[in-house]
Amino acid sequence: MTLAFVGGTHRTVPLALRERLAFSAEQAAEALGRFRERFPGREGVLLSTCNRVEFYAAGGRADVPPPPPEQLVSFLAECRGIDADLLTPVLAGDRGEGVARHLFSVAAGLDSMVLGEPQIVAQVKQAWSLAQESRTSGPLTGEMFQAALRTAKRVATETAIGRERLSIPSVAVADFASGVFERFDDKRVLLIGAGKMAAETLRYLRVAGARDVVIVNRTAGRADELATRLGARAGRFEDLSAELAAADLVVSTTGATEPVVSPELFGRAESRRGGRPLVVLDLAVPRDFDPRIGTRPGVWLYSVDDLAAACDANRKSRQREMPAAVMIIDEETQRFMGDLHHRSTAPVIERLRAGWSETGEMELDRLFRRLPTLDDAARAEIRQAFDRYAAKLLHPPLASLRSESRAGPPHGLLDALQRLFDLKD
Amino acid sequence: MIEFVSRISVVCFAASYAVALVCEGSRLLFRSGVRGAAMVGFAGAGLVAHTLFLVWRAANEPAVPLSSAFDWYLLASWVLAGGYLWLTIANPRTPVGLFLLPVVLGLIGAAEVSSRSPFPQSPATQIWGAIHGSFNLAASVAVAIGALAGVLWLIQAARLGRKQPPLRSFRLPSLERLAHTTERTLAIAAWTAAAGFLSGMVLNAVNRQRGLLETVPWNDPVVLRMAGLVAWLVTAAVVVRVMGRRADGPRIAAWLSLVSFGVLTASILWGLFGTTRHGVPPVRDMSETSEAALPRAWPTPAAAARPASAAAPEATP
């Protein structure tokens, strides 16, 4: 087997151990340098994200296999100064085809905490780049990572696994607020409360173009602080009615135990709104907006439960795409392994060609000596005929080798060819 | 090439649009990676055939494309088909064809049951006729696009009201954009329909003066339905304008645009199956009329082959 891997994810490694095992970019570069010294002639790529640490290794030539998973566990433990016995039970390992299949699944986001999340593709690319810079990447890992990126692209374009949004802020902005408003750069966004969810939602709104943002909070200092941090304007909580009248989109995340905006308060603001639509993302629990406000014309009120239900529907939608994604992973794995097995036949093919070429040259020399009157054009014609004849004779065995490679390493066929044509190393 | 173009029939492009409509409908049933290309391909092929058909008629029949009811309907459907293709390419996930292509096919159907004979014209009335036909065409297209925006607004609002995430292959434009389109198109429809009606009055006066066509009386069904349509569109545009500052203004505008489309459809059907003196040559003994005094009328072979009841040019809406 020319491929090996060992690794652990959020599913298998407890957070405390994952934190100790995680590599920063510098630590990863150092570990790869150490790998190069420890395992010369082998290839290695280290993928370390907040949810996974994985090491992919490949052998060099046929007689230089990759380090087995057990050695890779010890190597990772040594790099991070962790007892290997702690890692062995929580890290998984594999060899051969399973390595490629796993990497392709990882790159396509099928193994991620959030199914189909796209950030992992960039992380896989970074890991491969780091290995190239550290000179531990080679032809085998290069091909495997290229195939992984190609697979990720296919899964992203041919299935809808990564299309539906799953986080409450992203769903709130992309699926609901964007359904009401065409653009956000001319809209007033009002944040009520200074919760973490408000800041996260504002991040998506900023990407969508929102510029005019006002933050009101019972504690004015907290609103000032958040406004400075987010590049917004702080308003007074006492002016909430006026701010509601001016706002187009409200994100509310206070920790109040009673609704902050009652129908009466909203009624006062509504009369000054001039009929403009209002989107309210009430992300607070308990709710900040009285639900009766949502029945007013032109008001689109969404609570956390509404948005969570939408997220859940999107999650199920992603799950439905899994079979199609797995099919692509299978196809790409078979394709990659077929190419890999075919590569292993290269030395035999080379020797076969060299042997035939040598015999042909000898025969041509003998022929040309016996026919000294031949001119250069005639000699070139005869030489071409010999080459075509050899190529045609070689085609069936080479085609058989390629065909056999799709199912696995064609050891039997290679052995037969070596014995039939007396091919020596 | 000329032989190929001459063989293009209404069925050719109607069938292409129908296949594009079936593809649009399949969005609701299953996902497909090639559907978008198929829709654009069929609609594009239909539009090319449609264009060639109109060009062929313009080259071989005098005074088209607005000089007969048949050509008027085909031109209206051509504009809407072009609009559909543009909207589909610009917004591939928005199913505009589900609503626009039936209108395109309906107009083609209306063309099929209309007369192909051009209205009798002189150089003077040709200009007023073209203005009259163009304004009516613009009004009809605006009403159709307004109705499309209105129905999409209602669907989008229902989805947002039910707090459901959007369907993957059924993305709709924002309420803001749809409301803006509805309001705009209603205003355009009102202005152009009014201009079409006024230009029709001028045309009628010129005809009366020159004796080209029979004078259309004020109580003619075409005049009445056009007056009704104009009155409705102007009222709807004013209501939408006034209601624009109310929170439920966009919803009212959406409904009014749908009703406007209903009124337009009823008007077209009335024009197709009703009796009118609109566009009819003066009743006179043709043998007594000198060649020079005759209005220019160019009945096509198809129109000539029709039964007498269908040969009379129908009114454009």
Range of the domain at A221: 168-295
Neighboring chain B residues of A313 at a CB cutoff of 8 Å: 164-165
Q: Does residue B9 carry a pLDDT above 60?
A: yes
A26 plus A121 within the same structural domain: yes
Q: Does residue B307 carry a pLDDT above 70?
A: no
A193 vs chain B: nearest CA distance in angstroms? Answer: 24
Q: Given A181, A274, A314, which is nearest B174 (Cβ)? A: A181
Torsion of CA B90, B91, B93, B97, to 10 degrees: -90
- Pair A409, A347: CB distance under 8 Å: no
Q: Given A178, A275, A306, which is nearest B163 (Cβ)? A: A306
* Record: contact B175-A180, CB cut-off 8 A: yes
* B residues 167-186 closer than 8 Å to A (CB): 168, 172-177, 180
3-state secondary structure of A374: coil
Where does chain B have alpha helices with state H?
A: 2-6, 10-25, 35-60, 69-90, 97-112, 123-161, 175-210, 221-243, 249-273, 301-305, 308-311
Instruction: List the catalytic residue out of A33, A41, A50, A378.
Output: A50
Residue A336 maps to a domain: no
- Pair B176, A182: CB distance under 8 Å: yes
Neighboring chain B residues of A272 at a CB cutoff of 8 Å: none
A125 plus A46 within the same structural domain: yes
A271 plus A370 within the same structural domain: no
Residue A211 gets which letter from DSSP?
Answer: -
Contacts of A52 (CB under 8 A, 6+ apart): A7, A8, A9, A10, A106, A111
Instruction: Tell me if residue A311 is catalytic.
Output: no
pLDDT at B288: 41
Q: Are strands A233-234 and A212-216 parallel, antiparallel or unpaired?
A: parallel
Nearest Cα residue to B84 out of B95, B70, B71, B73: B95
Q: Does residue B283 carry a pLDDT above 80?
A: no
Residue A3 gets which letter from DSSP?
Answer: E
Q: What is the mean pLDDT of chain A?
A: 87
DSSP string, B133-170: HHHHHHHHHHHHHHHHHHHHHHHHHHHHHTTPPPPTT-
Where does A191-260 have alpha helices with state H?
A: 196-208, 220-230, 240-246
3-state secondary structure of A128: helix
pLDDT at B297: 34
Contacts of A303 (CB under 8 A, 6+ apart): A282, A287, A289, A291
pLDDT at A131: 94
Q: Given A160, A180, A306, which is nearest B176 (Cβ)? A: A180
pLDDT at B213: 60
pLDDT at A410: 76
Residue A370 maps to a domain: yes
Could you give the ipTM of this predicted complex? 0.74
Closest Cα in chain B to A312? B165
Nearest Cα residue to B110 out of B262, B273, B225: B273
Least confidently predicted of A48-52, A366-370, B32-36, B280-284 = B280-284
A30 plus A127 within the same structural domain: yes
Residue A105 maps to a domain: yes
pLDDT digits (tens, 9 = 90+) for A243-302: 999 999 999 888 888 888 999 999 989 888 888 999 999 888 788 899 999 999 999 999
Residue A305 maps to a domain: no
* Record: contact A179-B33, CB cut-off 8 A: no
Q: Does residue B291 carry a pLDDT above 60?
A: no
pLDDT at B122: 65
> Of the residues A164, A179, A212, which one is the last residue of a structural domain?
A164
A152 plus A75 within the same structural domain: yes
Token digits of residue B176:
């803001």
Q: Given B168, B174, B180, which is nearest A163 (Cβ)? A: B168
Query: How far, in whole angstroms, is CA A187 from its chain's centroid?
Result: 35
Neighboring chain B residues of A183 at a CB cutoff of 8 Å: 176
Which residue is associated with the tokens 């104009």? Answer: B230
A16 plus A51 within the same structural domain: yes
A248 vs chain B: nearest CA distance in angstroms? Answer: 12
- Pair A289, A261: CB distance under 8 Å: yes
> Of the residues A237, A263, A295, which one is the last residue of a structural domain?
A295
Q: Comparing B110 with A100, which gets the higher pLDDT? A: A100
Among B35, B94, B176, B248, which would you mutate to test the A interface (most chain A Cβ atoms within 10 Å of its Cβ)? B176
Q: Does residue B204 carry a pLDDT above 50?
A: yes
* Record: contact B176-A179, CB cut-off 8 A: no
Residue A317 maps to a domain: no
* Record: contact A175-B166, CB cut-off 8 A: yes
What average pLDDT score do residues A27-44 get?
Answer: 92
What whole-number distance in Å separates Cα of residue A47 and Cα of residue A95?
A: 17
CATH of the domain at A261: 3.40.50.720
Closest Cα in chain B to A270? B247
Identify the bridge partners of residue A278 per DSSP, sorted by sequence position. A299
Least confidently predicted of A402-416, B14-28, B136-150, B192-206 = A402-416
Confidence of residue A425 (pLDDT cuts 50, 70, 90): low
A216 vs chain B: nearest CA distance in angstroms? Answer: 25
Residue A400 maps to a domain: yes
- Sign, Cα dihedral of A346, A351, A354, A360: negative
Among A180, A296, A305, which would you mutate to test the B interface (most chain B Cβ atoms within 10 Å of its Cβ)? A180
A149 plus A196 within the same structural domain: no
pLDDT digits (tens, 9 = 90+) for B50-82: 998 888 888 777 655 667 778 888 888 999 999
Q: Comparing B310 with B106, which gets the higher pLDDT? A: B106
Token digits of residue B237:
């545009």
- Pair A323, A388: CB distance under 8 Å: no
A275 plus A394 within the same structural domain: no
pLDDT digits (tens, 9 = 90+) for B224-264: 888 888 999 999 999 998 887 788 899 999 999 999 999 88
A404 plus A382 within the same structural domain: yes
Residue A126 maps to a domain: yes
Phi, psi of A368 (to 5 degrees): -70, -30
Residue A211 maps to a domain: yes
Neighboring chain B residues of A296 at a CB cutoff of 8 Å: 247
- Amino acid (1-letter code) at residue A393: L
pLDDT digits (tens, 9 = 90+) for B152-179: 999 999 999 998 888 767 788 999 999 9
Confidence of residue B296 (pLDDT cuts 50, 70, 90): very low
What whole-number distance in Å separates Cα of residue B181 and Cα of residue A339?
A: 55
Nearest Cα residue to B5 out of B54, B50, B47, B56: B56
What average pLDDT score do residues A202-209 get?
Answer: 86
Where does A247-375 have alpha helices with state H?
A: 263-270, 304-320, 322-344, 346-370
Q: Comparing A419 with B308, which gets the higher pLDDT? A: A419
Confidence of residue B313 (pLDDT cuts 50, 70, 90): very low
Q: Does residue B280 carry a pLDDT above 80?
A: no
* Record: contact B168-A160, CB cut-off 8 A: yes
Neighboring chain A residues of B165 at a CB cutoff of 8 Å: 164, 171, 175, 310, 313-314
pLDDT digits (tens, 9 = 90+) for A161-188: 777 666 778 888 888 999 999 999 999 9
Residue A173 gets which letter from DSSP?
Answer: I
Provide the phi-psi class of B279: left if phi over 0, else alpha when psi is between -120 and 50, else beta.
left
CATH of the domain at A142: 3.30.460.30
Neighboring chain A residues of B176 at a CB cutoff of 8 Å: 180-183, 277
A317 vs chain B: nearest CA distance in angstroms? Answer: 9
- The helix (H) or strand (E) run that includes residue A393 is helix A376-405
Residue A175 gets which letter from DSSP?
Answer: I
Instruction: Indicate the number of domains in chain A.
Output: 3
Q: Given B159, B163, B248, which is nearest A298 (Cβ)? A: B248
Share of chain A above pLDDT 70, in %: 98
- Pair A317, A164: CB distance under 8 Å: yes
**This prediction's pTM:** 0.67
Neighboring chain B residues of A306 at a CB cutoff of 8 Å: 163
Which residue is associated with the tokens 């640490």? Answer: A53
Closest Cα in chain B to A184? B176
- The helix (H) or strand (E) run that includes residue A55 is strand A52-58
- Sign, Cα dihedral of A119, A120, A124, A130: positive
Closest Cα in chain A to B252? A297
- Amino acid (1-letter code) at residue A110: L
Identify the bridge partners of residue A55 per DSSP, sorted by sequence position. A6, A46
DSSP string, A72-103: HHHHHHHHHT--HHHHTTT-EEEETHHHHHHH
